Amino acid sequence: MADSAFPTAPVPQLAQSMRDRSGVRRRLRYYGEKVAGSLVSLFAVILTSFFLFRIIPGDPVRTMTHGRPVSIEQQEQLRRDFGLDKPLAQQFLDYLTGVLRLDLGDSFQFNRPVTDLIGDRLWPTVLLVGTSVVISAALGLWLGVRCAWNHGSLGDRVNTGVALTLWSVPSFWLGLILIVIFASGAGWFPTSGMESTGVSGWERIPDIAHHMVLPLVTLVAVVYAQYLMIMRSSLLDEMGSDYIVTARAKGLRDVIVRRRHAVPNALLPTITLIFVNLGFVVFGAVLVETIFSWPGLGQLFYSGLAVPDLPLVQGLFILFSAAVILMNLLADLLYPVVDPRVRP
Amino acid sequence: MSVLAISDLTVTYRTAGGDVPAVRGIDLSLGAGQKLGLAGESGCGKSTMALALLRLLPKTARMTGSIMFDGEDVLTMSWGRLRAVRWAGASIVFQGAMHSLNAVQRIGSQIAEPILLHSKVGEAAARRRVGELLEHVGLPARRADAYPHELSGGQRQRVMIAMALACDPSLIIADEPTTALDVMIQAQILKLIESLVAENGISLVMISHDLSVLADTCDRLAIMYAGRIVEEGPAAEVFRAARHPYGAALAAAFPTIGDPSSRRSPRGLAGDPPDPADLPAGCTFHPRCPVRLDYCDRIDPQLWPAGDGARAACVHVLPDQGLSLVQKEPA
Amino acid sequence: MSAGTPATVAAAGPRRLAWARRRRTVARFWRQYRQNRAGLFGLVVLALFVLTALLAPVITADNALSVTQPPGSPLDGPSGDFPLGTDRSGRSMIDLLIWGSRVSLTVGFWATFISIAFGTLFGILAGHFGGWGSMVLMRVTDWFLVMPSLVLGVVLAAVMGRSLTTIIVAIGVTSWPTTARLVRAQTLAVEARPYIERARALGGGHWHVMSRHVLPNVMPIVLAQTTLMVGQAILIESTFAFLGLGDPTTASWGATIQAARDVGAVSSRMWWYILPPGIAIVLVVLAFTLCGRAIEGVLNPKLRERQS
């Protein structure tokens, strides 16, 4: 860009329109690259899943029938059913088209299509994970900002200490302890499940909320600590910057400097990390749902692991990975809205 | 009447390893419309000085002395009064400008921010004023919609200057305003600052490690070393014939164009600036001094008059008095 | 870091000199580490756990882990003989905790070793060579980062059959990407330094540059990452054991909690069965985390200022 003491000459109309067109192309290219990247990731997940379940166990049929008495004929039948007698490339192609048509095979233990099972169990998980992410993010970011702004203070040290400790706590154990104290002990909350029987209509809402308290507290406790630490360190990075001193030199109140200048900048790296860490939350949900018998996908996953119900575990693996990839794609696509520097 | 009068200012950072003195007793004054240059190596305390003028230092810094700004002591002001003085009374232009501007805010709203804060005008008036300011510093008014990363380094520095002028301050503190810019743009920015300051009768404190830049722009020059001013006087005088050996070394670090002698014998200064936590005894400059005398590690020189309105803190300025001072001390 | 006068340098020889320099570096590192109280606390806790794990056969009775000839009766509360009660087979909880520290530390260290080895190797290769290969390597890393690696680990462990080795491999191969990213960034920073160019100009090959210049400079960061990673690996191990993926014959802390849940310790509120193994996990993981942060703080002064 030319830097002269005089205002630059107005850009001619033609050049302006050309720049617009190349801008559109650049934007399309940016979004296209992100979408393509996600598709590649998704393909890699399906590939991994395929190899994981067919190659590593050696004989998938034996793994599938693990511990159950099956005759030679039944084994042969299974082998044909799964197309194991075909060449590997053909097998993968069949598998891929199956996944793309949302056909994830039938679960051994439930004798139902995995897709149907997922459909039944999807909403409880979305409710639990969604609520916990929103609460953890709000709590973690808020505390992180306060800690960083008053770093070295008593509040900061206590908060970071608590966060680091919670970060070291196994979520399943925390859930059990909470049940011992508040459910089977004090009797304030139900020990398991999502709903009481015989409750219908609008009364389901407070009932579900009541059931959700402990699972939510467990999940939030292990997740918010990460958000706190991320926000704290990225805000500390920003606080040393000149623009913060500039903002204070302008005569702005401390609160305004923080809210208008420091936090918006510190949020950017934080958002990326929050989305990258979503996989961790999904795994936390598996444990929490198991502990609290929350009728969601996590509990389904756990019941599949125990058998092992390979089609079910495989289908859920693809679903969990796809969900995380999708959320990350969303983050990538929305990122330019909050950060003008990466705006294509 | 002076706009700024600093007397016996000290700044000490409290750290885990003990107190670290960054500024150790500085006296300076600056009249209306005067331009003062402050030079020194990095770590000599000049940036700490700049931030201290508006009490912008971190909480770990302790300040003593006084900084009289338009007749009021900045160090004892209430927070409310201090916020009112910031930017409306004195504003700052930082170096680099990339990080001095908020990367996720349009420059227009960053310039308008102090206007909306300090003067009672509405959004529309503030926007008009932003446009004027931008044109004033040589940028088209429509650039107000740009983000900092869309501008070149020089343009960003212009934005910083426009921002500094926003509330018609009586003093501008420019901390390395041209560092990290290439030479042509450096010259443009310096010229811009000079003309705007002169036009509006604003006093200027310009801080730089580059003595030649300061000598060009400023009326007076002060040279800092290890938290103190070691030489002060009319700019041309100090640059051409510094009396303190450190000032002389700084000036010599920039060859005079067209002078073959400076080309043939480039003079630098050996050694590093001292660690503020562990200063040498006596004259803090003596370990690096090319003309040290054997008693320099025992005498703490003050700013003594050194002719023509200049002062220097070196025994060579007043050899007789220096010697008599040393003789009084037990060896 | 000037090392004496030229005369003594010549006399001492480059090897002795290098050793002296290393010793000084370590001493300085320790001096700075000591100032971090949380880090010291972590170190002490760690030392205690490592000692316990090493001395497990000495400080527990021979039949401590025996299910057939247990020292006590099942599910007893704390008593004089068994300060923390007994488990469902009648074994002392204290003995179980002591032997559990062996499992946790073993899995923690080996899984971390795999993860760090892969991560460092890929990170340095990607950072050093650049171009096509690096791009592919980094894409793979990114992809692993985005994938729910714990879910993948569980699936891997489930498919491979239950054993400690399975868990170690599952944790190791799913957790290297973080290290790889970190190491790559550091490699790029190191290779931008002028002395690398000098080494190349003097005829240093890829191997020379990577092993003699890049690796030593990457090691400190790897050390901090290792310490943090061991803690996480222990946490993941307990989780996998709790999910029933561990070796059914080893008494790991996670497996103990799982067993407690199975016998209904939650509803009958047998706190001595649930609480101690969890606390042990929290202590070890926290200790590693505190040590890791303290090391990071020493290596990165900007961080140190922040953590104080």
B184-241 pLDDT, tens digit each: 888 888 888 888 888 888 999 999 888 888 888 888 999 998 888 888 888 888 888 7
Contact A276, C146 (CB under 8 A): yes
Question: Phi and psi at residue C86, in whole multiples of 5°?
Answer: -130, 165
Torsion from C-alpha of B319, B325, B327, B329, nearest 10 degrees:
-150
Of A148-157, C191-200, C233-242, the range with the lowest mean pLDDT is C191-200
> Among residues C280, C283, C278, which one has the least CA distance to residue C242?
C278
- Kindly report, residue by residue over B167-180, the tens digit of the pLDDT: 889 999 998 888 77
Task: Compare B118 and B328 and report the one with higher pLDDT.
Answer: B118
Residue B149 contacts A, CB cutoff 8 Å: yes
Torsion from C-alpha of A290, A101, A97, A286, nearest 10 degrees:
-10
| Number of CB atoms found within 10 A of residue A293's CB | 15
pLDDT score for A217:
94
- Return the residue in A56, A59, A176, A324 with the most chain C beta carbons within 10 A, the one to mutate for interface testing: A176
Q: Which residues in chain A are closer than 8 Å to C290, comparing Cβ atoms? A: 164
* In the block, residue with structure tokens 């001390």: B329
How far is residue B132's CA from residue B126's CA, in Å, rounded to a whole number?
10
Mean pLDDT over each residue of chain B, to the nearest integer:
83
| Furthest-apart CA atoms within chain C: distance in Å | 77
C239 belongs to a structural domain:
yes
Please provide the DSSP assignment of C221-263 as one string: HHHHHHHHHHHHHHHHHHHHHHTT-S-TTS--HHHHHHHHHHT
Question: Phi and psi at residue A282, in whole multiples of 5°?
Answer: -60, -45
- Kindly report, residue by residue over A244-302, the tens digit of the pLDDT: 999 999 989 989 999 999 999 888 888 887 887 888 888 899 999 999 989 999 999 98
- Return the residue in B81, B99, B133, B195 with the most chain A beta carbons within 10 A, the one to mutate for interface testing: B99
Contact C110, C164 (CB under 8 A): no
Sequence-separated contacts (24+) of B237-242 with Cβ below 8 Å: B237/B308, B237/B309, B237/B310, B238/B310, B239/B211, B239/B212, B239/B214, B239/B215, B242/B312
How far is residue A9's CA from residue A240's CA, in Å, rounded to a whole number?
38
Residue A162: which residues within 8 A CB-CB, separation 6 or more?
Answer: A225
pLDDT score for C271:
80
Q: In the predicted model, is pLDDT for residue A6 greater than 50? A: no
pLDDT score for B95:
73
pLDDT score for A228:
92
Q: What's the mean pLDDT in A21-44?
A: 84
Contact B29, B9 (CB under 8 A): no
Calculate how close chain B gets to A249, using CA atoms only, in Å.
6
How far is residue B37's CA from residue B52's CA, in Å, rounded to a whole number?
16
Task: Compare A69 and A251 and report the one with higher pLDDT.
Answer: A251
Structure tokens at C94: 């204290």
Contact B147 A341 (CB under 8 A): yes
pLDDT score for C154:
84
Q: In the predicted model, is pLDDT for residue A306 greater than 80? A: no
Q: What's the mean pLDDT in C277-293?
A: 91
Pairing of strands B171-175, B203-208: parallel
Of A122-126, B8-12, C75-79, the range with the lowest mean pLDDT is C75-79
DSSP assignment letter at B4: E
pLDDT score for A61:
66
Contact A242 B117 (CB under 8 A): no
Q: Where are the domains of chain A?
A: 55-197+207-342
C77 belongs to a structural domain:
no
Question: Phi and psi at residue B6, in whole multiples of 5°?
Answer: -100, 130
Contact B188 A251 (CB under 8 A): no
Q: In the predicted model, is pLDDT for residue B183 greater than 90? A: no
C217 belongs to a structural domain:
yes
Q: Which residues in chain B are closer than 8 Å to A338, comparing Cβ atoms? A: 104
C80 belongs to a structural domain:
no
Calculate how close chain A gets to B277, using CA atoms only, in Å.
22
pLDDT score for C56:
77
pLDDT score for B292:
81
pLDDT score for B321:
57
| CA nearest to B191 within chain A | A5
Query: To 5 degrees, how large is the angle CA C141–CA C145–CA C147?
Result: 115
> Among residues B31, B75, B70, B66, which one has the least CA distance to residue B205?
B31
* In the block, residue with structure tokens 């770590």: B43
Q: What's the mean pLDDT in A226-231?
A: 89
Q: In the predicted model, is pLDDT for residue C308 greater than 60? A: no
Contact B54 A340 (CB under 8 A): no
pLDDT band at A242 (very low <50, low <70, confident <90, very high): confident
pLDDT band at B326 (very low <50, low <70, confident <90, very high): low
Length, in residues, of chain B = 331
User: Subunits with at least 3 CB pairs below 8 A relative to chain B?
Assistant: A
- Residue C209 belongs to what domain range? 92-303
Torsion from C-alpha of A234, A235, A237, A243, nearest 10 degrees:
130
pLDDT score for A2:
40
pLDDT band at A128 (very low <50, low <70, confident <90, very high): very high
Whole-angstrom Cα Rg for chain A: 26
Sheet holding B220-225, edge to edge: B90-93, B171-175, B203-208, B35-39, B220-225, B228-234, B311-312, B304-305
Amino acid, res. C25: T
- Kindly report, residue by residue over B258-293, the tens digit of the pLDDT: 555 555 544 567 777 788 888 888 888 888 888 888
Of A95-99, B68-72, B324-328, C168-172, the range with the lowest mean pLDDT is B324-328
- Kindly report, residue by residue over C111-154, the tens digit of the pLDDT: 999 999 998 998 888 888 877 877 788 777 877 777 777 888 88
Pick the CATH number of A55-197+207-342 from 3.10.50.40, 1.20.1260.120, 1.10.3720.10, 3.40.50.11890: 1.10.3720.10
Contact B93, B28 (CB under 8 A): no
Contact A3 B185 (CB under 8 A): yes
* In the block, residue with structure tokens 């002078």: B259
Contact A265 B104 (CB under 8 A): yes
pLDDT score for B306:
79
Contact C235 A151 (CB under 8 A): no
Contact B140 A339 (CB under 8 A): no
DSSP assignment letter at B61: E
How far is residue C42's CA from residue A233's CA, in Å, rounded to a whole number?
21
Amino acid, res. A214: L
> Among residues C163, C171, C147, which one has the least CA distance to residue C244?
C163
C85: region left, alpha or beta (phi > 0 left; psi from -120 to 50 alpha): left
Contact C278, A170 (CB under 8 A): yes
Put simply, the chain A residues between 256 and 275 with a CB less than 8 A from any chain B CB are: 260-261, 264-265, 268
C126 belongs to a structural domain:
yes
pLDDT band at B255 (very low <50, low <70, confident <90, very high): low
| CA nearest to A320 within chain C | C148
Task: Compare A271 and A343 and report the one with higher pLDDT.
Answer: A271
Q: pTM here? A: 0.81
Contact A340 B147 (CB under 8 A): yes
How far is residue B328's CA from residue B321's CA, in Å, rounded to a whole number?
11
C18 belongs to a structural domain:
no
Residue C65: which residues within 8 A CB-CB, separation 6 or more?
Answer: C91, C95, C96, C99, C251
> Among residues B148, B111, B136, which one has the least CA distance to residue B126?
B111
Residue B185 contacts A, CB cutoff 8 Å: yes
Contact B225, B192 (CB under 8 A): no
> Among residues B165, B202, B175, B232, which one has the least CA distance to residue B34?
B202
What residues form DSSP beta bridges with B13?
B20, B61
Task: Compare C20 and B259 and report the one with higher pLDDT.
Answer: C20
* In the block, residue with structure tokens 């002490």: C44
Which parts of chain B fold into alpha helices (H)? 46-52, 79-85, 107-118, 123-136, 153-165, 183-200, 211-217, 235-240, 245-252, 260-264, 319-328
Q: What CATH number does the domain containing C181 carry?
A: 1.10.3720.10
How far is residue B232's CA from residue B307's CA, in Å, rounded to a whole number?
11
Q: What's the mean pLDDT in C246-271?
A: 81
Please provide the DSSP assignment of B6-32 as one string: EEEEEEEEEETTEEEEEEEEEEEEEET
Total count of domains within chain C: 1
pLDDT band at C11 (very low <50, low <70, confident <90, very high): low
Please provide the DSSP assignment of C176-234 as one string: HHHHHHHHHHHHHHHHTSHHHHHHHHTT--HHHIIIIIIHHHHHHHHHHHHHHHHHHHH
Sign of the C-alpha dihedral computed for residues B29, B34, B40 and B45 taken in this order: positive
Q: Which residues in chain A are closer than 8 Å to B91, comparing Cβ atoms? A: 249-250
Contact A94, A80 (CB under 8 A): no
Residue B245: which residues within 8 A CB-CB, separation 6 or more?
Answer: B285, B289, B290, B291, B314, B316
